[in-house]
């Protein structure tokens, strides 16, 4: 499979006209203990997290640049409890032979906490139960209240929550950009495949370096 960098990307010069800070939000998806930290749930069960640190370093750089440029910051996170677990997810996991596999990002054990990144007063913060950050939340209303038209997507994982939030945003008429090196999956093929599908159907790919350059 081709490297993600070989997929079509929009360069910094063109991005300046597309990523106007006043109408753009940097969306930080699920940068949380259970998804990104060695001591989180995925790390404890042996998931390969080697793709996380490089993406996380780029996310951190983008957060600082977005704040300085005056873009909106929007932090998504999964927050669950046994009482809010999706029956569909529980059933799916059980049928896959993984009962209990849905018990991630619990609100009472630190698994749902932000990891490395931190929201600040005035940022959008969304707690969600599943993958799509728009489903069952007021994310759309909060973005529209700030005049946001464009979303720059980062986070974990490319093939799941980033993917489903990007698709939902496109269906709500937002202009969607995926920062290919500021998101990651736990399998490189899944990361590349998700980026390829998204850029073919509902998003444009960009690099951290070019987003930063366009906002400087």
Query: What's the pLDDT band for 184 if we cut at 50, 70, 90?
Result: very high
Q: Do the beta carbons of residue 74 and residue 152 sit within 8 Å?
A: no
Among 90-94, 144-148, 179-183, 188-192, the range scoring the smallest mean pLDDT is 90-94
User: Averaged over 117-138, what is the pLDDT?
Assistant: 96
In this predicted structure, what is the pLDDT of residue 99?
64
In this predicted structure, what is the pLDDT of residue 100?
65
User: Averaged over 182-211, what is the pLDDT?
Assistant: 97
Q: Is it the case that residue 215 has pLDDT exceeding 70? A: yes
The set of residues, in sequence order, having a beta carbon less than 8 Å from that of 87 and lying 6+ positions away, is none
User: Averaged over 35-42, what is the pLDDT?
Assistant: 94
* Average pLDDT taken over every residue of the chain: 94
Tens of pLDDT, residue by residue over 144-176, are 999 999 999 999 999 999 999 999 999 999 999
Superfamily of domain 4-215, CATH level 4: Isochorismatase-like (3.40.50.850)
Tens of pLDDT, residue by residue over 62-107, are 999 999 999 999 999 999 888 888 888 878 878 888 766 667 888 8
Transcribe 118-171 into DSSP letters: ---TTSEEEEESSS-SSTTSSHHHHHHHTT--EEEEEEE-IIIIIHHHHHHHHH
Domain extent listing, the chain: 4-215
């Amino acid at each position: 499979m081709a490297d993600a960098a070989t997929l079509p990307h929009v360069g910094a010069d063109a991005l300046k006209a597309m990523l106007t800070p006043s109408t753009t939000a940097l969306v930080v998806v699920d940068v949380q203990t259970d998804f990104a930290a060695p001591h989180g749930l995925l790390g404890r069960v042996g998931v390969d997290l080697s793709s996380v640190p490089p993406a996380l370093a780029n996310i951190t750089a983008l957060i600082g640049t977005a704040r300085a440029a005056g873009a909106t910051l929007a932090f998504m996170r999964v927050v669950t409890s046994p009482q809010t677990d999706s029956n569909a997810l529980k059933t799916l996991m059980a049928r896959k032979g993984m009962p209990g596999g849905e018990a991630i990002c619990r609100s009472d054990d630190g698994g749902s906490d932000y990891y490395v990144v931190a929201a600040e007063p005035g940022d959008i913060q969304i707690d969600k139960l599943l993958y799509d950050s728009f489903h069952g939340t007021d994310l759309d209303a909060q973005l529209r209240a700030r005049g946001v038209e464009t979303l720059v997507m980062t986070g974990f994982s490319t093939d799941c929550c980033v993917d489903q939030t990007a698709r939902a945003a496109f269906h709500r008429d937002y202009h969607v950009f995926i920062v290919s090196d500021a998101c990651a999956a736990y399998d490189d093929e899944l990361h590349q495949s998700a980026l390829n599908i998204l850029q073919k159907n509902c998003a444009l790919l960009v690099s951290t370096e070019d987003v930063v350059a366009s906002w400087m």
